């Protein structure tokens, strides 16, 4: 048997072993270089109750900065039923997509939770952030997603073009297995998962969200791209940890007790966000950030009135993004659109 035939036979055997393996979405298990071999017929780690889809946004910033939006686990506390709670979360996901957030973080507020807590909020937001062609494989049937059909479409650019059959269309996928010689297996919503070569120097891990370029569907020809997938990543984290991140940038707390955002203050805010990135935190209906953090509202007001006073709670500033609030309560999803439309302005 010639050298070429041996290489072809080895490749065929590798493909067959991949087909026999269990292709499931996985929880990321430490970073692995694409060139690092793994055991043959490796069984991928599966946790039926939750699927965690990791993103390259953790290690690679888009546009030179990171935009993180922090919402409490109690943000649907006033929803009357699961359908209404799902609808509200759909608006939160829409705001994150419209204003190009990199990370949508759910932080714990157990005292403010009602019928639906952080697990429900996180699951629905993860589902909304997942391309439609990957949702069934990634989530299956879950009680939290009973009313997922009413979630508004996010229409993220790469998703809307993913069904195009033209040359060079981009598509998102989930790495389900890392193999030897830089080969990875990717579920990208096509008829079958596909086996691809990782670009030189690119590190991938099982469960990671990646971008591929499809040049042909019959036969399938695709290329794995070393670039951050569009859209945002949903993260469950602690508020303090998020504020301590090295890429937290300009840390903003939103509150009606903060400094009123005005036309005169916008240039400085825009400059800070443009140069450093943004981490902005929101409260829940009838339960703002001060009570969540155990801070007196008067303390926030005093710090906002005196620029020399250090902002409490680990933030750089507290802002009132709706200074002429006409309703007693501003819902979290409403506050997101009001705040991000101002904070993401360009110079």
For 312-327, the pLDDT digits (tens) are 999 999 999 999 999 8
Q: Mean pLDDT over residues 152-176, rounded? A: 69
What is the mean predicted confidence (pLDDT) over 52-73?
63
| DSSP-assigned beta bridge partners for residue 252 | 280, 317
* CATH superfamily for domain 3-28+159-225: Nucleic acid-binding proteins (2.40.50.140)
Q: Is residue 347 predicted with pLDDT exceeding 80?
A: no
Token pair in block for residue 137: 């494989």
Q: Which residue has the higher pLDDT, 53 or 125?
A: 125
Structure tokens at 118: 């952080």
Query: Among residues of the chain, what percentage have pLDDT more than 70?
Result: 78
pLDDT of residue 12: 41
Between 17 and 237, residue with greater pLDDT: 237
> How is the beta sheet containing 250-260 ordered, strand by strand?
233-237, 103-107, 67-72, 278-281, 250-260, 317-320
Q: Report the C-alpha gap between 87 and 16 in whole angstroms.
A: 43
Looking at residue 235, its pLDDT comes to 93
CA-based nearest residue to 86, from 53, 128, 50: 128
Helices (H), the chain: 3-20, 82-98, 118-129, 132-139, 157-160, 239-243, 266-276, 289-293, 297-305, 332-343
Give the model's pLDDT for residue 37. Answer: 35
Predicted local confidence at residue 109, as pLDDT: 93
Once rounded to an integer, what is the mean pLDDT over residues 98-123? 93
Domain boundaries, the chain: 3-28+159-225, 238-343
Whether residue 334 contacts residue 285, with contact meaning beta carbons closer than 8 Å, is answered with no
Q: Using a pLDDT cut of 90, give the percent of the chain over it.
A: 48
What per-residue confidence (pLDDT) applies to 126?
A: 95
Whole-angstrom Cα distance, residue 206 to residue 184? 9
pLDDT greater at residue 292 or residue 223: 292
Whether residue 198 has pLDDT greater than 60: yes
Q: In the predicted model, is pLDDT for residue 345 greater than 80?
A: yes
Report which of residues 224 and 166 the model is more confident about: 224
Separation CA 24–CA 45 (nearest Å): 8
**Among candidates 258, 266, 261, which has minimal Cα distance to 311?**
258
Average pLDDT score over the chain: 80
Provide the pLDDT for residue 158: 58
CA distance 135 to 48: 14
C-beta of residue 291 within 8 angstroms of C-beta of residue 79: no
Q: ∠ CA 335-89-249 to the nearest 5 degrees?
A: 50
- For residue 118, report the phi and psi dihedrals to the nearest 5 degrees: -65, -35
**What is the CATH architecture assignment of 238-343?**
3-Layer(aba) Sandwich (3.40)
Q: Is the peptide bond before 74 cis (omega within 30 degrees of 0)?
A: no
Tokens (6 digits) for 295: 């801070």
Residue 155 φ/ψ region, left for φ over 0, alpha for ψ in the -120 to 50 degree band, beta for the rest? left
User: Is 300's pLDDT higher than 70?
Assistant: yes
Give the number of other CB atoms < 10 A from CB of residue 12: 10
Question: Cα angle vertex 107, ends 150, 52, to 5°?
Answer: 65
CB 249 within 8 A of CB 273: yes
Q: What pTM did the predictor assign?
A: 0.76
User: What whole-number distance in Å separates Cα of residue 168 and Cα of residue 220?
Assistant: 12
pLDDT in the model for residue 168 = 62
Chain position carrying tokens 């990782």: 198
């Amino acid at each position: 048997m010639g050298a070429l035939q041996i290489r072809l036979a080895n490749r065929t055997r590798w493909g067959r072993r991949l087909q026999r393996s269990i292709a499931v979405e996985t929880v990321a298990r430490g970073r692995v270089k694409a060139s690092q071999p793994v055991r043959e017929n490796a069984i991928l780690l599966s946790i039926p109750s939750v699927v965690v889809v990791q993103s390259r946004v953790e290690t690679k910033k888009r546009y030179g900065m990171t935009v993180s939006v922090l919402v409490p686990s109690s943000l649907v506390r006033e929803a009357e039923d699961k359908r209404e709670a799902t609808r509200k979360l759909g608006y939160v996901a829409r705001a994150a997509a419209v204003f190009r957030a990199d990370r949508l973080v759910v932080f714990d507020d157990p005292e403010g939770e009602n019928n639906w807590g952080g697990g429900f909020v996180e699951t629905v937001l993860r589902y909304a952030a997942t391309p439609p062609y990957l949702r069934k494989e990634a989530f299956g049937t879950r009680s939290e997603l009973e009313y997922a059909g009413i979630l508004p479409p996010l229409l993220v650019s790469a998703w809307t073009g993913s069904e195009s059959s033209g040359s060079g269309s981009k598509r998102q996928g989930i790495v389900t297995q890392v193999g030897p010689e830089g080969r990875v297996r990717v579920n990208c919503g096509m008829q079958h998962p596909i086996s691809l070569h990782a670009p030189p120097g690119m590190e991938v891990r099982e469960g990671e969200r990646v971008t591929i370029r499809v040049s042909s569907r019959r036969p399938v020809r695709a290329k794995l791209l070393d670039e951050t997938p569009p859209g945002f990543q949903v993260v469950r984290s602690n508020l303090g940890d998020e504020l301590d991140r090295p890429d937290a940038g300009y840390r903003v707390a939103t509150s009606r007790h903060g400094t009123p955002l005005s036309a005169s203050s916008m240039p400085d805010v825009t400059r800070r966000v443009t140069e450093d990135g943004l981490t902005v935190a929101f409260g829940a209906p009838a339960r703002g950030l001060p009570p969540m953090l155990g801070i007196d509202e008067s303390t926030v007001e005093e710090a906002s009135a005196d620029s020399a006073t250090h902002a409490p709670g680990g933030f750089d500033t507290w802002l009132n993004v709706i200074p002429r609030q006409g309703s007693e309560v501003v819902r979290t999803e409403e506050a997101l659109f009001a705040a991000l439309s101002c904070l993401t302005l360009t110079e």
